[in-house]
Every structure is written in structure tokens, then in C-alpha cells.
Amino acid sequence: MKFSISHLWRGAKRRKTYAQILVYFIVACVGILVISTLFLSIVSSNTLMRTIGNHSKLQLHHAVETLSFTMNWNIDYAQRSSLSTPIRSYALRSLTTPHEDNLIWNALVELKDNNPYIDSIYLINHYNRKVVDTRHGVSENDEFYDQDILSMLDRAAQHADERKSIVPRLLEADYITPIEPRIISLIIPLEFDYSGSTFVVNINADALISANRTNTANAGSQLYVLDGDQNIISGNTQTDFLKNFSELGYHYNVARKPGFYEHEGDQSGYLIVQEEIPLNVLGPWTMIEIFPKSEILKDINTLKSQTFIFFGCILLATIWIIWNLSRKIYSPIQELIVAVTSRNRHMVEDHRLSNEFAFLSDVFTEQSQELDAYSRNQRLLAKESFLQELLETDIAHRAERMEQQFNQFRLTIAPERLTVAILRIDQFQSFTDHYTDRDQRLLRFGVSNIAKERLQERWPVETVDMGKDHIAVILNLQNESDIVELCQKFKRCQGDIEHYLSIGTTVAVSPLIEQVHELHESYKQTYHLTDARFQLGWGSIISEAVNAEPSNPTFQYPEDKEKLIVQWLKKGESIPLLAQLDAFEILIQKFHYSESKLAATMLLLSIGKTLRQLPIRAYQASDWSLSAIQKQLDQLETLEAVLDWIKRLLGQACSEISSLEISPRSLSIIEEIKNVVNQQYQDQNLSTKLISDQLGLSVNYVRNLFKTETKQSLMDFITDRRMEEVIKLMADATLTIDEIVLQSGFTSTVSFYPIFKKKYGMTPAAYRKEME
């Protein structure tokens, strides 16, 4: 024996790793088995209770969702029915004819027949003392068979604490219903309080509960539905209806949070699961399921005994397996340690090989992290980065290496006969407002997948997330005729994207290009082509192969319509204004989309100028600069959306203008002042004094009247009129800026330049260039 023990000790010292493996395995496995056995014997019953509790809670939650939905639907149905104009009109009149009574009765019967849960509906008219009932028709209050509801309404009218919106109760039996029905009355006052006419919907409690009952109740359990006062709406027996839950003898406080609880009763314990049933018009109801512990734990003791025997056998078998397994796995581990040590000398000095497993773990962790990082950076990003570079940069200088790089990244497309398509997200401002950056990336990823799945059935295709508002699609086509079929495929893609992601898209398709180095220029042109949705609208598919040129290529701005729009705006006349705006829309729809956008911009500049002259502070503070208008047009995206926005803006402006109170005399003087300015604005000597002298009025009176009524000084008005002329003259390329300034009434360019830049945010030369 001494020799055997000393022999084992020396062997363990020589093979330290083997000894560690053996000891660790034995200690770990024996410890796990022993702890598991003890743990199971101690907490098995609690675990079983929690399992049953969680399972029952989940079942109960599903039942609660169903019942809550149905009950809230009935409440909404009753409330919407009470808002019916014929019902409210009838209920608030003191004199009604039999024919009107019959019409209302038919309406109530139709409402009842449309809802399978409704037992009956009452319309109680406080003014003619009549009750229209779906059961008995029309009767006087004193003769109405349900005096209980009338008494309840009388008490509610006198005492606020008696007012209830939902009342479970028993309805008296009559010749129509010989058995007392259990109902839930929904009481909806048609006036400010309970003293007026009332709309009452009686829900059949049995029909409501039975129609929404699932397999929630388990064997041996008791299931109850309680209202806010803990009265029983549904129980295991019909006699429990309207009993208070405290009368059942469970001695359990229902006023707890939803969940499951262990409760000790008088004789035995219970597992009680409860959930709240949220309702729209008052506090929640409660659903409770009660399990006797004796039913749950009756087999647990037998299970414990069998488990102890089974774990004991496993413990003995485990020790024997560990002994043999440790001997077999040691040799390859030792070889691995020697090999790794020879290749990682820099790590050996740090670890001193005090723990060989820790050393191996550190080495493998470091190498795994390096491989994972390389794999992620190369496999996931390289391909997309390469495609983005193809589209965003000019690669003509290295086009000869493209085929090699296409093979390197295993692209499905070939570097010739390519077509670029852009899927641009419609209503992008709303898209960014509703989704986080992460969600936007996920949705663009979804758009890419849908497009690729649709198109790869027919052509080699690659998709690229270009960020922000669009996805790029690169395809190999055989010839130009394929573009028509491609557009049809994209139409189905748009439908799938709208259906699955609720995102609208505009698609632009480029012509076929022969070489890959043309891809960058084709991508830029195709992206700009998506701007044609300004005229074509959201969801368009834009391609030279399917879109015809506008019928009227010559741009002529409808200045006469603009003048009429401004004229009617100043007068606050919305109907003729909107008519002229519709005519303006018809005219500019014939132009190229860029010209339509320019026309809309010019119209908005004129409208903005007019609105700033109004004595309305909100419009005077608005930013009507060219950059602000262009930003608004970019956000609205389509001509239809722009004109709808303009119509809403001008409709509101006309309403506010028509509400302004200006005396006829003041209005006449202001119009005379504006006429003088419009006729003489080119006169460099035009001033407030000159205008006052011509009208025969004092300078102070003219200055103060104009400022008070228009909220703008007269000199500012003169400057705005001259600036308006400057903008018009800029369209004439033969005139220099200096000539335009002098013809518009300004004294010098020195004073003109600061005024122009302040108003439009740029120099006159830059503005003229942008107009071109």
C-alpha cells in the first residue's frame, strides 16, 4: 500500500496537468451531482410551484388579453353608437311622434343585432319620459320593466359617488326571458351629467365570458373574473354571480400586483395567479385562478425518492468514467502545450507556465480575437466598401484591375454591360423622424434584400446600402430592351417593400453602360434622375426607356397667374385664389421637373414677400429666403405635396387676412400709397415726404398709418418693390448688375449689395447663377 501511494504521488508530481485534470473533473462532477441532489431535494417543490405559476400566469395573460379586447371593443361600440346623430337628436327632444319612436327602435335593434354580445339596448329620454327598449319597444318611464336602471340613474343624478359607467347586475325575468339574465350594463350619459337622457347597453355576461373563455382553467383549479369592487362577474358556479370575492372564504387580498402568490388558507395552502383586465372607461377588472397545493405536490415525494437513488448511481458511474477519461485526454493536451509553448515564447515568460490551461486559454483567445476581427473586417465590410467605391469615385485609372477585384470579392456581376438603379426612399423626412439610425439601417437592409431576391431570378445583381435615403442596385443586362422588363420587376419590388416594410420608394434606372469605369458617372446621373419624382410623384419608376419627354419643352413662367394669386391673397379671398393656384399647377406640370421646381420656387418667393407685408406677426417672422424655400421643397419632394402645402398655407392666410379689421378709409389710403410706389419706385428720389405731398397728407400720418396697418415701414415696402424688380430684371442676361440696380430705383450699388445679401442670403451674382 505504501508503494502504491508513493508511486501515485510521484506520478502526479511528474504529470501535474494530468493530476489537475483528474482532480478538477472529480471535484467538479462530484460537487455538481451532490449540490444538484441537495438542491433538488430542498427546492423541488418551490420550483414546481414557480413553473406552474409561470405557466398559469402565461395562460391567464392570454385569456385576459382576449377578454380585455372584447370588453373594450364592446365599450367602444357602445360609445360610438351613442354618438349617432339620430339617437342624440331623439334623446334630447321633448316631443316625438310614434313614427320617430319606431325609427329609433329599429335603429337600436340594428345596433343590437350587429353585436352578438348585446342582450338589450335602452334609450332613456329624460324630456318626454319615454324609454325605447330593444325588447319591448317604447314605454313610459313608470311602465318600464327595468325600474332598477331608472332608480340607479336617479341616485347617480343626486349623488356623484353613485355614478358608474359599467354595472354588472341581474335583470328581472319576463315573458321574453324567463330566466334572470346576468348582464353588464354600459351607462353612457348623453348630456353633461346623469340627470339627462341616457344610452344604456346591456352586455350578456354569460355570452361575453363563454365566447372568450380559453383552456385557461386547469384541472382542480378555480377561475374567477372580478370587477373593480371585487364582485364576481364569472365563477365556477352561476350562483357566485355578484358575490363579493371575500365571501368565498379564501381570506386573500386581491389588491396585489399581477402575478402568482402562495397563500395559506384556513385548512390548506393555495397557489393563486391573478392578472388585471384593463378597461377603457374605469379601473381594471381582475382575473384570478386558484390551485390547491395538495393537488400540485401530491407526487413530489415519490419523485424525490426516485431522484436520490438515480443520482447516487450516476455519481458512482461518473467517478469511474472520469478516471479513465483523464488518462486518455492527457497525452494530446501535453503535446499541444509543448507545441504552443515553442511558438509563443513571448507569452511563456509572462505566465511562467504556473497554469498550463490558463496559458492555452490566453493564447487561443488572442488568436481567436485576431481571426474574428480580420474575418469581420474582410468578409462583411470589404465587399460593400468596394461597391461603394465603384459608385462614389472615379476608378478609370485602375479599370484594368477591375476583373481581378471582381473575382477577389466574389461578385455575382461582371465588369461590363452594367446598369445602375437607385431605390430612393419617399417621404424621407418622415422616415428619419419615425426611425432611429439603427432602425433606418435595418430597413435599408430589408429594401436591399427584397430588391436582390426579386431581381436575381433574372439577372446577376448586387445591392449596396449607400446610406441616408437610397439603395443602389448594379445589374448585368444583355441589351437595352431588358430595361423595360427590369422596370416591371422594380414595380413588383416597390409593392413588396410597401407591403412588408411600409416604405414607399422611387426607382430610377440608368441606360446600359459598356465599361465599369463609367459606373461612377452613371450613378450620379441616375441619382439626380430620381429628382424627377418632383413632377411624376412618389412611387415612380424613371427611365429613358419608359418615360417620355414633357410635351412642352419650352419654359415660360406663368407670371399672370402669380399676379392673380398675390392679388387674391392680399384681399383674403380663398376661393378665387385656390382656383388660380390650380390653374398655375396645370401650367407648370407641362414643364420639365427642374423647371416645375423653379416655377414653384419663384411662386413661393412672391408669396413669401406678400405674406411678410401682412400685419400678421407669424408671417413676418417666417423665413422666406431662397435657401429656406429650397429646403422646404426638398423635404416635400413632389409637386403635388408642395402645392398641397401651399394651399393649406394660403387658406390659413386668407382666413387670417379676412379677420383683420381695417377701416375703409385707411384701406383706401394704403392702396393709394401702394399704387404710387408701384408707379414711381424707379424714381431714386421717391420717399415718404414725396408720397405724402402727392396724397395731400402729413408725413407723420402717412408713415404711422402704413406702419400700423401693414406692420412694415413705408421705406421697407419701397425697398421690397425695388428688389422685386431686380429679381425680374436678372432674368435678362444682357443687363449688368449695375444697370439693374439703377433701373430698379436704387441710388448706388454700394447701398444695394448689403440689402440684397441680407434679404436673399447671397450676392446678386450668385443668385443670378443659381437662377440659370
Q: What is the pLDDT of residues 428-458, one digit of tens each?
A: 888 888 899 899 989 999 999 999 888 888 8
Output the 3-class SS for 590-615.
CCCHHHHHHHHHHHHHHHHHHHHCCC
Greatest pairwise CA separation for the chain in angstroms: 136
Same structural domain, 114 and 186: yes
Tell me, what's the pLDDT at 621? Answer: 56
**pTM of the full predicted structure?**
0.43
How far out from the chain centre does Cα 149 lie? 44
Looking up residue 687, the CATH number of its domain turns out to be: 1.10.10.60
Answer whether residue 644 is part of any domain: yes
Looking up residue 111, the CATH number of its domain turns out to be: 3.30.450
pLDDT band at 1 (very low <50, low <70, confident <90, very high): very low
pLDDT tens track for 663-691: 556 777 888 898 999 999 888 888 899 99
Tell me, what's the pLDDT at 197? Answer: 85
Same structural domain, 375 and 436: no
Of the candidate ranges 248-257, 413-422, 579-588, 640-649, the one whose mean pLDDT is the lowest: 248-257
pLDDT tens track for 226-255: 877 778 887 766 667 777 877 777 777 776
Answer whether residue 54 is part of any domain: no
Distance between CA 225 and CA 233 in Å, rounded? 5
Of 37 and 432, the structure prediction assigns the larger pLDDT to: 432
Same structural domain, 484 and 513: yes
Three cell numbers at 260? 402568482
Q: Strands 541-542, 505-509: parallel, antiparallel or unpaired by DSSP?
A: parallel
Q: Which amino acid is at 66?
A: T
pLDDT band at 5 (very low <50, low <70, confident <90, very high): low
Same structural domain, 521 and 392: yes
Answer whether residue 740 is part of any domain: yes
Instruction: Quote the domain boundaries for residue 704.
Output: 602-771
Same structural domain, 432 and 355: no
Tell me, what's the pLDDT at 200? Answer: 92
pLDDT tens track for 687-744: 899 999 888 888 888 888 888 778 788 898 999 899 889 888 888 888 888 888 888 8
Tell me, what's the pLDDT at 2? Answer: 47
The residue-averaged pLDDT of 415-433 equals 89
Instruction: Out of 499, 529, 559, pick the residue that ends a domain.
Output: 529
Share of the chain above pLDDT 90, in %: 6
Tell me, what's the pLDDT at 209? Answer: 77
Instruction: Out of 505, 529, 553, pick the residue that ends a domain.
Output: 529
Instruction: Out of 379, 397, 429, pick the residue that ends a domain.
Output: 379
Answer whether residue 396 is part of any domain: yes
Same structural domain, 613 and 756: yes
Three cell numbers at 674? 401702394
Tell me, what's the pLDDT at 162? Answer: 66
Q: Which amino acid is at 540?
A: S
CA distance to 9, 706, 723, per residue, from 716 (Å):
106, 11, 10
Tell me, what's the pLDDT at 396? Answer: 61
Of 429 and 25, the structure prediction assigns the larger pLDDT to: 429
Of the candidate ranges 101-115, 220-234, 242-256, 639-653, the one whose mean pLDDT is the lowest: 242-256
Same structural domain, 141 and 180: yes
Answer whether residue 523 is part of any domain: yes
Share of the chain above pLDDT 70, in %: 77
Same structural domain, 360 and 409: no
State how many domains the chain has. 4
Same structural domain, 393 and 373: no
- Give the angle subtended at the CA of 301 by the CAs of 298 and 305, to the nearest 5°: 150
Phi-psi label, residue 353: left if phi above 0, alpha if psi -120 to 50, beta otherwise: left
- Give the angle subtended at the CA of 433 by the CAs of 427 and 434, to the nearest 5°: 90
Distance between CA 573 and CA 576 in Å, rounded? 6
Same structural domain, 656 and 620: yes
Answer whether residue 587 is part of any domain: no
Do residues 240 and 290 make contact, with C-beta atoms less than 8 angstroms apart?
A: no
Answer whether residue 466 is part of any domain: yes
Answer whether residue 196 is part of any domain: yes
Same structural domain, 626 and 666: yes
How far out from the chain centre does Cα 94 lie? 48
Same structural domain, 764 and 679: yes
Number of other residues whose CB lies within 10 A of the CB of residue 673:
23
